[in-house]
Chains A and B, each alone.
Chain A
């Protein structure tokens, strides 16, 4: 039996079949232990741009292969990668069958975000983390931002995703995100507030999430000043496939009897269903989700709908047209803050808000040869972010239209050139910031140079021109440099350096509410763009089959950070450029399996030190003072124990108390210590899960005067047919 683990069965055989003037590679990718076909395995022809992804039967076809000898690399999350040499002949199909061995540790992942083209995660120059769909399901995550909490250097402050402390927290979410949210490489930040809607699509439709920590502006332009979260959605299957997940849960009583605010049973349920198939050359995937909850607190109930569709048409000439559309609607009560600490689950605010979002993208990919490919994209984004105090009615949906043309050329087997131009147009209207139209155009290029088997170099440059029509023009040149050094088998040093920038959102610059309103905002048209200088260096280490570790040090400097400076004695403020700040830190991640793959451990630790670099009278910040809402320590530890078809898992998340906060500095603050427990059971194509979230019923405030989620119990069942 153990031999099966040690050696994979690799069968390669070729057959001559009628084809065109070029050849094809076709094959099947299976699990070496069970023989089951693997859906979504990545097949790449090295030193070319050719590749494919397997369908639900584990099959793939790579067309337009010039005759020759090739090295094919097959990778899949949770399995060891395999390589095979194969000869392609004119007008023939070379068949390949690869059986992948399961890997306790996901060593050999292929990512698409760090260099904006496929590359091996182990050799990436950037710090990139990957969350697979299996992990999202296993941890019973319901939102994209929730799914990121197991990554070193990433933490949530309310609905703000912090990558290496780059973001903070803004009241009512009025400030823009410093983390760029992409869906299938397409930016989807709101056009007016520059915010990320982390609940814009159901997580069941996510294939994987790639998080780029560090300089990203060179690749993705304004927005990714501290990082990028790229959500890659699932592709249509070639045969009919139906999947579902049904979850029901109840909230426990709060740990403090005084906080109990109702005698009703508080519950939630969630239903996800999707269907996928390919009709001739057209692959379709449709998904619908419904999530409803009473909430665990007063005015905390919500109802959410999600509709997602993806259509992919493969043309005979090796080109592909795909359309992706997602729509979400979230109608909920708005729990702004508690009444007081004796009534932590009650609020005097009774506002209800709706958050609506639609994002669509049309992408055309054309492979001209094994050395040259192009991609053209059009995308549309319309979102209304709900605001309390009846403010939402004064906002028209913020519209964003963007397009991109990109080329990828391999002039030499060791050089990969990526170049293109981005265009973006935003149209926004609100009685608070008026009517504005902004446009941005950005040419960019990047070189990925494989100097030798052990050295790889990334270098890139991007020039952004951002125009608020009739108002201002901003330009920015963003360089980036990175390298990876594979000095020993299993040991890789990497470093990256880059500059990022973010233009102030329309809302940050122009929002103005009249005196006497609930939230008083004063405009500041003179806001400067934020700028960042980001540097990191780290070591990825693989120790045998069952242990991997990564340690990364980072040093980031931010200039002109835009924060909401609070008004005295009134809710609201004015967006201002803050003094320069520096955030440095250390991240460590470890993944280990042992005792016949029954025991597992994942851990992520982060130490972070943030500091203002000068006094600033306007904001009241002093030199040396820590930035608000930046925890010094975060830790995530997840042990697991498998016995037969069952797995028992625990997640423990720790976050030290914020040293400084903006709005209620006198409130008692405690560290976050959240323990989640899960029991999973697989039964054929079905899997069941019993989970306890916040098992210790620990009370903390993720943001001021908002209590963390009360202990709750979930049962869920999911299946794929």
Chain B
């Protein structure tokens, strides 16, 4: 019996050491920094092919890597019931590191489709009811760890993508080394000023920083007539509100009149080719607001 006691104590000591040697994480902690607000879904219910929608927060737009450069929320609850007539809102709270977040947006995707930053339902700062079209940054730092009331309106209208437009963009002029990205915008109405640039019906990010002579594109859009199709350039030093048009799909023989393209589910619009000229920067290219190439 006496000889068994040291064995017992040794085993006990071993167990305690084993326990003491383990390092436990403490699970939840107070959240030092976060973004919170409300998401307001507009124009519901969404089309049947909408698989899910999520909130996305990213420091950089567009993100180069969707798995590492963005914070993607869990699937958002929203109403699919056509009989529901009340507001469809959800409060959110996202834990983020300190930093400057270029966009807080709602994205959607179809079944078995990958996440695409172009599939945006809404952006913080873009509110059609208030005529606000400037995406706002969110800054989180030690003094301001919580950004509250970062409300986002999400428009189901943007999920309508039953047709496509494709073509080639031919770059002219000396390639800008400070190119951050391009946005190809499709507009139902010709924007009349810088603020209406974000009033697009559909858009496509073009992540092309290295010089190329031409860039073939294909964009999913809704059926209809697009009166203005343009390529916007964003420099590394500028913010999203300072994008500049450097080329647009134009009428033959006239350098200022935008041409329109019409597409439907059965008739995709192809060969929508146009030039984009870096020489128009910094001010950007000029265009006329006259529709239909001046024809009545």
Tell me, yes or no, whether A binds B.
Answer: yes
Interface residues of A in 114-147 (CB under 8 A from B): none
Whether A666 contacts B80 by the Cβ 8 Å rule is no
Q: How far is the CA of A238 from the CA of B252 in the complex (A)?
A: 107
- Given the known inter-chain contacts A643-B12, A673-B27, A700-B27, please indicate yes or no for A660 contacting B19, CB distance below 8 A: no
Whether B51 contacts A622 by the Cβ 8 Å rule is yes
Nearest chain A residue, comparing its CB with the CB of B28: A699
Whether B27 contacts A617 by the Cβ 8 Å rule is no
Nearest chain A residue, comparing its CB with the CB of B41: A568
Interface residues of A in 681-703 (CB under 8 A from B): 696-701
Within 8 Å by CB of A668, from B5, B19, B31, lies B31
Whether A620 contacts B31 by the Cβ 8 Å rule is no
A520 to chain B, nearest CB (A): 11
Residues of B within 8 Å of A648, CB to CB, are: 12, 15
Residues of A within 8 Å of B242, CB to CB, are: none
B113 to chain A, nearest CB (A): 13
Within 8 Å by CB of A696, from B8, B24, B45, B73, lies B24
Whether A620 contacts B94 by the Cβ 8 Å rule is no
Interface residues of A in 565-599 (CB under 8 A from B): 566, 568-569, 598-599
Interface residues of B in 53-97 (CB under 8 A from A): 55, 73-82, 84, 86-95
Residues of A within 8 Å of B8, CB to CB, are: 598, 643-644
Whether A665 contacts B76 by the Cβ 8 Å rule is yes
CB of A99 within 8 Å of the partner chain:
no
Whether A344 contacts B30 by the Cβ 8 Å rule is yes
Extra contacts, 14 of them, besides A341-B31, A616-B80 (Cβ < 8 A), are: A255-B26, A256-B26, A566-B77, A617-B81, A618-B80, A641-B15, A660-B75, A665-B75, A666-B73, A670-B28, A673-B24, A696-B26, A698-B24, A707-B28
CB of A506 within 8 Å of the partner chain:
no
Residue ranges of A at the interface with B (Cβ–Cβ < 8 Å): 255-256, 258-259, 341-342, 344, 566, 568-569, 598-599, 615-620, 622, 625, 639, 641, 643-644, 648, 650, 660-662, 664-668, 670, 673, 675, 677, 696-701, 707
Whether A666 contacts B94 by the Cβ 8 Å rule is yes
CB of B177 within 8 Å of the partner chain:
no
B45 to chain A, nearest CB (A): 7
Q: How far is the CA of A644 from the CA of B11 in the complex (A)?
A: 13
Whether B87 contacts A618 by the Cβ 8 Å rule is no
Q: How far is the CA of A464 from the CA of B55 in the complex (A)?
A: 47
Nearest chain B residue, comparing its CB with the CB of A616: B80
Nearest chain B residue, comparing its CB with the CB of A341: B31
Whether A699 contacts B87 by the Cβ 8 Å rule is no
Interface residues of B in 31-56 (CB under 8 A from A): 31, 45, 48, 51-52, 55
Residues of B within 8 Å of A259, CB to CB, are: 30
Q: How far is the CA of A620 from the CA of B82 in the complex (A)?
A: 11
Whether A620 contacts B78 by the Cβ 8 Å rule is yes
Nearest chain B residue, comparing its CB with the CB of A665: B74
CB of B29 within 8 Å of the partner chain:
yes
Q: How far is the CA of A439 from the CA of B11 in the complex (A)?
A: 60
Q: How far is the CA of A622 from the CA of B90 in the complex (A)?
A: 18
B216 to chain A, nearest CB (A): 34
Residues of A within 8 Å of B89, CB to CB, are: 568-569
**A-contact bits for B89-113, CB 8 A (1 contact / 0 none):** 1111111000000000000000000
B153 to chain A, nearest CB (A): 14
Q: How far is the CA of A296 from the CA of B91 in the complex (A)?
A: 28
Whether B73 contacts A665 by the Cβ 8 Å rule is yes
Q: Is the interface of A mostly helix, strand, loop or mixed?
A: loop
Residues of A within 8 Å of B51, CB to CB, are: 622
Whether A665 contacts B77 by the Cβ 8 Å rule is yes
B20 to chain A, nearest CB (A): 11
Q: How many pairs of A and B residues are in contact by the CB < 8 Å rule?
A: 103
Within 8 Å by CB of A568, from B28, B29, B31, B88, lies B88
User: How many B residues face the partner with a CB closer than 8 A?
Assistant: 40
A715 to chain B, nearest CB (A): 20
Q: How far is the CA of A220 from the CA of B88 in the complex (A)?
A: 42
Whether A641 contacts B12 by the Cβ 8 Å rule is yes
Q: How far is the CA of A650 from the CA of B15 in the complex (A)?
A: 10
Q: How far is the CA of A618 from the CA of B84 in the complex (A)?
A: 9
Rank and list the top 8 A-B pairs by shortest CB-CB distance, nearest first. Answer: A617-B80, A699-B27, A696-B24, A643-B8, A699-B28, A665-B74, A569-B89, A666-B92
Q: How far is the CA of A256 from the CA of B27 in the complex (A)?
A: 11
Whether B81 contacts A618 by the Cβ 8 Å rule is yes
Whether B86 contacts A666 by the Cβ 8 Å rule is no
Nearest chain A residue, comparing its CB with the CB of B51: A622
B233 to chain A, nearest CB (A): 35
Whether B86 contacts A568 by the Cβ 8 Å rule is yes
Q: How far is the CA of A344 from the CA of B84 in the complex (A)?
A: 34
Q: How far is the CA of A258 from the CA of B145 in the complex (A)?
A: 15
Within 8 Å by CB of B29, from A256, A615, A644, A673, lies A256
Q: How far is the CA of A255 from the CA of B84 in the complex (A)?
A: 44
Q: How far is the CA of A648 from the CA of B27 in the complex (A)?
A: 26
Could you list some 6 contacts between A and B, CB below 8 A?
A: A341-B30, A342-B31, A568-B86, A648-B12, A664-B93, A696-B26
Q: How far is the CA of A617 from the CA of B82 in the complex (A)?
A: 8
Q: How far is the CA of A618 from the CA of B89 in the complex (A)?
A: 16
Q: How far is the CA of A657 from the CA of B55 in the complex (A)?
A: 20
B156 to chain A, nearest CB (A): 13
Q: How far is the CA of A666 from the CA of B86 in the complex (A)?
A: 22
Whether A568 contacts B87 by the Cβ 8 Å rule is yes
Nearest chain B residue, comparing its CB with the CB of A663: B77
Residues of B within 8 Å of A644, CB to CB, are: 8
A699 to chain B, nearest CB (A): 4
Whether A258 contacts B30 by the Cβ 8 Å rule is yes
Whether A620 contacts B79 by the Cβ 8 Å rule is yes
Residues of B within 8 Å of A616, CB to CB, are: 80
Q: How far is the CA of A643 from the CA of B7 in the complex (A)?
A: 10
Within 8 Å by CB of A698, from B27, B87, B95, lies B27
A701 to chain B, nearest CB (A): 7
Residues of A within 8 Å of B5, CB to CB, are: 643
Q: How far is the CA of A675 from the CA of B15 in the complex (A)?
A: 14
**A341, A675, A697, A707: residue with the most chain B Cβ atoms closer than 10 Å:** A341
B12 to chain A, nearest CB (A): 7
Whether B52 contacts A341 by the Cβ 8 Å rule is no
A675 to chain B, nearest CB (A): 7
Q: How far is the CA of A650 from the CA of B20 in the complex (A)?
A: 13
A334 to chain B, nearest CB (A): 22
Whether B26 contacts A698 by the Cβ 8 Å rule is yes
Residues of B within 8 Å of A619, CB to CB, are: 80
Q: How far is the CA of A27 from the CA of B100 in the complex (A)?
A: 81
B275 to chain A, nearest CB (A): 44
Whether A668 contacts B95 by the Cβ 8 Å rule is yes
B115 to chain A, nearest CB (A): 15
Within 8 Å by CB of B93, from A256, A566, A666, A707, lies A666
Whether A620 contacts B77 by the Cβ 8 Å rule is yes
Within 8 Å by CB of B26, from A664, A668, A697, lies A697
Whether A341 contacts B28 by the Cβ 8 Å rule is yes
Within 8 Å by CB of A342, from B30, B55, B79, lies B30
Within 8 Å by CB of B79, from A255, A341, A568, A664, lies A568
Whether A622 contacts B52 by the Cβ 8 Å rule is yes
Q: How far is the CA of A622 from the CA of B27 in the complex (A)?
A: 30
Q: How far is the CA of A661 from the CA of B90 in the complex (A)?
A: 14
Q: How far is the CA of A469 from the CA of B95 in the complex (A)?
A: 52
Residues of A within 8 Å of B19, CB to CB, are: 650, 677
Residues of B within 8 Å of A675, CB to CB, are: 24
Residues of B within 8 Å of A650, CB to CB, are: 19
